[in-house]
Amino acid sequence: MKNISNRREFLKSSALAGGGLMLSFSWFSEAKAAEKIASLNLPEQWSELTAYIKITPDNVIKILCPNPEFGQNVMTSLPMMVAEELDCDWKNVVVEMSTHDNVKYGPQFTGGSNSVRMYWKPLRNAGAAARQMLIEAAAQTWGVTASEITTKAGILSHSSGKSANYGEMAAKAATMAVPKDVKLKAPKDFSIVRNSKKNTEGVKVVTGKPLFGIDNRVDGMLIAMIQHPPAFGMKLKSFDATAAKKMAGIKDVFSFKLYDDGFEQGGFDTRTHNEMIAIVGNSTWEVMNARKKLSIQWEAAGDVKDTMSGRGGKREVTVPGRLETTSSQFEMMAEYAKKPAKELRKDGDPAAAFKNAAQIIERTYNAPFLAHNTMEPMNFFAHVQDDKALVAGPLQAPGWMEPTLAKLLNLPADKIEIQMTRMGGGFGRRAYGSYVYEAARISQILKAPIKLIYTREDDMTYGIYRPMYTATYRAALDSNKNLIGFHVTGGGIPENPIHANRFPAGAVDNYLADGWEIPSNITIGAFRAPRSNFNAAAEQSFLDEVAEAVGKDPIAFRLDLLRRAKENPVGKNNDYDANRYIGVLELLKEKSGWGKPENAGKKRGVAAYFCHNSYAGHVVDMVMRDGQPYVEQVTSAVDCGVVVNPDAARNMVQGAVVDGIGQSFYGALTHKDGVPEQNNFHNYRMIRHNEAPKKIDVHFVENDIDPTGLGEPPFPPVFGAVANALFKTTGKRYYNQPFMSEQAKS
């Protein structure tokens, strides 16, 4: 994640062509921004700087959304934050996606549940500054003191009876100095934020407008597909494209290397294979057909040496060449689990606590690789020319791809234009840009505009997956059933899942967290709430079992531990706020009617978790339906601070619940000799309409805390609540995901 704390936004106003106000914005230092702006030959080219806010004389207020949209609804929530402080009428607001320019628009990064959080103050500052300038313009026009002018819903008013709408003052406002400091509204005064607004792209979505990267089209554009090695650990040996090239509509078939030897890969340059075959032609179907005519020999890649840069500095890594099979992956994990692990946190004397324990509970949890399966498969448009390049498509963090594109194409970064399209889902997958580089390479080789499309099979078998994880939890109880020691040890292929400073760290005197990792050629990356999506399942199931062992109600047991962490925390660096955690559990208890006699017959599971600065919990009500467990109803409680757009936020939480049920019940990507065993939705099971709960009630803790994350936090605890409800429903604890595979075995 980029550090944005040392940047201060810098505002600049200018006149809009045709009259009106345009407020520009920069996240770099004032000096850097001034330099950049100066290079644009002010004021003639000001109109080329796309601003956050444009107000036309006829009072249309255009607000640009800086962050890529992947369904988290930023094209509504971020402009709402601007409009709130601008104090305009939402009905007059038109929203557009901004261009990609990290100098002007900041990080432009969708991920880590960060969009609202990182833009909360800067966007409100921009809105407030524009409002102040409109007030100044009115004050000068009317010959009154600025402090006597009030605004409401886009109308400026003075006690003398004078009034004007923003449009009428916009041209003059553009000549006012940009205020250095502005006062932001107190949350109690919000009239747009905290009031549900409909998705600003809703009409375009329901009418099928070309919003997505895969819908890109320019004249003369060719369609490209890639044939990648069939297995992790294989590479291209040779191929014969004679037949494919003879197929109708085919322009070219060639192999290409993504990175040259020794290329320093940044943290988000992850790529599954380095040499692929590109098939390029006039239309998708023709390319698909020609692809089937390729005759290709693959061979074992052997160990591959890669050069990595970015976090951790420049280093050489060896990617092992073995062809992995799921059963052997489990064997490897069991073997590694026996070896001494790397200590990640230790409080007190856990060894002594376990030695002196009257009872030890030990459980091991496993979860498979998961494919992201965004509904819009990976794709990208690229038109690389000798002196410049245009790329357009779905990316969560285009700014991270820009330096690599510049290196690969041997072009200066400012000659590369990246256009952000609405994404048909992301879930972490589109934070990794190898498909953008592939598109750019193909376009550069062909010297033509191309659109690269992955088939679903490409997308699923050529992924950057959620890692395979395991964790063993141990609890030491004394003779009075007090929890005196806690140990979590975890590992994975190729990443360990442990968050050492998370609950119940801080609540147990003797605590140990350690971990280990198994290097692998299976490429992995962020997946909605990375690591948390496994930890919450394991830890929250385990705590449920410990609560049962000590004879306490599962919510009461968690609350006792959290009160301990709040009042007398163990150790330092506990990364959660016990008070907010308690608040969510208490709200959940109240709203779900937990422990109430009328719910006594229900098979309920509970879990709560902290991640991405927010707190979320669920109570899951499960029944058996046609011999299968079914989640019928869910009650959710979330503390994410101020909720900007409540109905959309509820939609997000409901979606996270459905996603969590689906992934925990069915999600799995397995391997046989390096080949993914699932390649489309007929063998990779996704949750469907009839499997979704009948009802999901979402409740937010009401407070004035600056917004924290929402896209990810509600997702991880679903897994734990489902596991605990499965125990209540079936009488059996579920330790291995996907749970329905376990169910089938029982």
Q: Can you give the binding site for another protein, defined by CB under 8 A?
A: 70-73, 196, 198-199, 201-203, 205-212, 214-215, 217, 223, 248, 283-286, 289, 373-377, 422-427, 453, 455-457, 647-648, 651-652, 654-659, 662, 680-682, 686-690, 692-696
Q: Report in angstroms how near the CB of residue 203 gets to another protein at its nearest.
A: 5
Closest to another protein by CB, 138 or 226: 226
Alpha helices in 208-314 (DSSP H): 242-245, 284-292
Closest to another protein by CB, 426 or 463: 426
Q: Report in angstroms how near the CB of residue 378 gets to another protein at its nearest.
A: 12
Closest to another protein by CB, 264 or 286: 286
Beta bridge mates, 152: 155
Closest to another protein by CB, 209 or 257: 209
Q: Report in angstroms how near the CB of residue 199 gets to another protein at its nearest.
A: 6
**Distance between CA 55 and CA 421 in Å, rounded?**
24
Closest to another protein by CB, 160 or 283: 283
Q: Report in angstroms how near the CB of residue 201 gets to another protein at its nearest.
A: 7
Closest to another protein by CB, 77 or 366: 77
Q: Report in angstroms how near the CB of residue 80 gets to another protein at its nearest.
A: 14
Alpha helices in 417-465 (DSSP H): 434-446, 456-461
Q: Which residues contact 278 (CB under 8 A, 6 or more apart)?
A: 224, 225, 226, 252, 253, 254, 255, 256, 438, 442, 445
Q: Report in angstroms how near the CB of residue 667 gets to another protein at its nearest.
A: 11
Q: What is the DSSP string of 471-515?
A: EEEEEEE-TT--EEEEEEEEEEES-----TTSTTTTT-SEEEEEE
Sole residue written with tokens 């245009």: 390
Closest to another protein by CB, 571 or 709: 709
Closest to another protein by CB, 515 or 676: 676
Q: Report in angstroms how near the CB of residue 505 gets to another protein at its nearest.
A: 31
Q: Report in angstroms how near the CB of residue 704 gets to another protein at its nearest.
A: 25
Q: Report in angstroms how near the CB of residue 212 gets to another protein at its nearest.
A: 6
Residue type at position 323: L
Helix%, strand%, coil% for the chain, nearest 5: 35, 25, 40
Sole residue written with tokens 């294979």: 273
Q: Report in angstroms how near the CB of residue 377 gets to another protein at its nearest.
A: 7
CA neighbor of 384 nearest in space, from 229, 293, 256: 256
Q: What are phi and psi of 273, to 5 degrees?
A: -130, 160
Closest to another protein by CB, 55 or 643: 643
Closest to another protein by CB, 266 or 425: 425
Q: Report in angstroms how near the CB of residue 695 gets to another protein at its nearest.
A: 7
Q: Report in angstroms how near the CB of residue 493 gets to another protein at its nearest.
A: 24
Q: What are phi and psi of 717, to 5 degrees?
A: -70, -15
The answer to whether the beta carbons of residues 651 and 638 sit under 8 Å apart is no
Q: How distant, in Å, are the alpha carbons of 111, 471, 707 from that of 613? A: 13, 23, 9
CA neighbor of 71 nearest in space, from 545, 322, 504, 428: 428
Q: If 0-12 CB within 10 Å is exposed, 13-18 middle and 19+ buried, where does residue 142 land?
A: middle
Closest to another protein by CB, 637 or 692: 692
Axis-axis angle for helices 554-567, 578-592 (nearest 10): 160
CA neighbor of 425 nearest in space, from 69, 65, 107, 711: 69
Strand 603-611 relative to strand 614-625: parallel, antiparallel, unpaired?
Answer: antiparallel
Cα–chain center distance at 39:
35
Q: Could you check whether the bond before residue 494 is cis, i.e. omega within 30 degrees of 0?
A: yes
Q: Could you check whether the bond before residue 43 is cis, i.e. omega within 30 degrees of 0?
A: yes
Closest to another protein by CB, 577 or 659: 659
